[in-house]
Amino acid sequence: MVAKLVLLRHGQSEWNKKKLFTGWVDVSLSEKGIEEAFSAGSKIADIPFDVIYTSTLIRAQMTAMLAMSKHKDKKVPCFIHENDKSHLEMAKIHNANAESELIPVFMSSDLNERMYGTLQGQNKDEVKKKYGEEQFIKWRRSYDTPPPEGESLKMTKNRAWPYFQKKIISHLENKEHVLISAHGNSLRAIVMELENLTPEEIVKFEIPTGEPLCYTYDGTKFSKTSL
């Protein structure tokens, strides 16, 4: 058996809809985003996930939970607050059967969207008009040019990929199936390594909202596969 890894960019958020730079601003899904999450869930409903990872932002967490509501095995996702010892103690489960029906969900800011600095909350069309299209494209689409006081894609990769290596790949090595619900840039950072893409290639790589990407892992390499 080979392990499956599904990367799911959150559905459209309220600020996606308004064309605002969002970054780490913790806004929720739009009505369309909710529909996209349900649609994504139908596409991955047959994959027996063993563990789920999300960012700390609600749009990624909502997407994962709405998608999993369509899952056929009906296991219950359960958020594990691994950095809160008090919560872990208070949330102990005293029923082995109930615990066996859970899918652990882990959260990390290392999977958060690229932080857009002083662009956060600004309208993309207005930023383009104010600074010019060339500068706008550099801030939004280049690999290593960050927006003012923000992160570049390279900087995002420097947190997302080490987290993947430290926390996630061990599940795949154990032939467990993993769902990651996160963001366009944090997921592109991971894809860059999975597919060995160059900086020039990754800036052209698009991950649509609510559209799952699936990879298999045979213990040595990742291969993209259809759902």
SS (HEC) of the chain: CCEEEEEEECCCEHHHHCCECCCCCCCCECHHHHHHHHHHHHHCCCCCCCEEEECCCHHHHHHHHHHHCCCCCCCEEEECCCCCHHHHHHCCCCCHHHHHCEEEEEECHHHCCCCCHHHCCCEHHHHHHHHCHHHHHHHHHCCCCCCCCCCCHHHHHHHHHHHHHHHHHHHHHCCCCEEEEECHHHHHHHHHHHCCCCHHHHCCCCCCCCCCEEEEECCCCEEEECC
Q: What's the pLDDT tens digit per position in 87-121?
A: 999 999 999 999 999 999 999 999 999 999 999 99
Please give the Cα distance from 169 to 187 (Å, whole number): 15
Residues in the chain: 227
1: confidence class by pLDDT, cuts 50, 70, 90:
confident
Catalogue the active-site residues. Answer: 10, 113
Q: How far is CA 8 from each of CA 31, 127, 129, 179, 195, rounded to the nearest angstrom?
A: 18, 28, 32, 7, 16
**What's the mean per-residue pLDDT of the chain?**
96
Q: What's the pLDDT tens digit per position in 166-189?
A: 999 999 999 999 999 999 999 999
% of the chain beyond a pLDDT of 70: 100
Please give the Cα distance from 207 to 20 (Å, whole number): 18
Q: Structurally, how many domains does the chain consist of?
A: 1
Tokens 């969002």, located at residue: 22
Q: Model pTM?
A: 0.96
227: confidence class by pLDDT, cuts 50, 70, 90:
confident
CATH number at residue 203: 3.40.50.1240
- As beta bridge partners, residue 105 has 52, 79
| Range(s) of the domain holding residue 61 | 3-225
By DSSP bridging, strand 178-182 and strand 51-54 are parallel
Please give the Cα distance from 97 to 74 (Å, whole number): 14
Q: Could you tell me the sign of the dihedral formed by the alpha carbons of 34, 43, 76, 10, in that order? A: negative
Instruction: Tell me what pLDDT residue 14 has.
Output: 97
* Phi, psi (rounded to 5 degrees) for 9: -75, 135
Instruction: Tell me what pLDDT residue 50 has.
Output: 97
Q: What's the pLDDT tens digit per position in 27-85?
A: 999 999 999 999 999 999 999 999 999 999 999 999 999 999 999 988 999 999 999 99
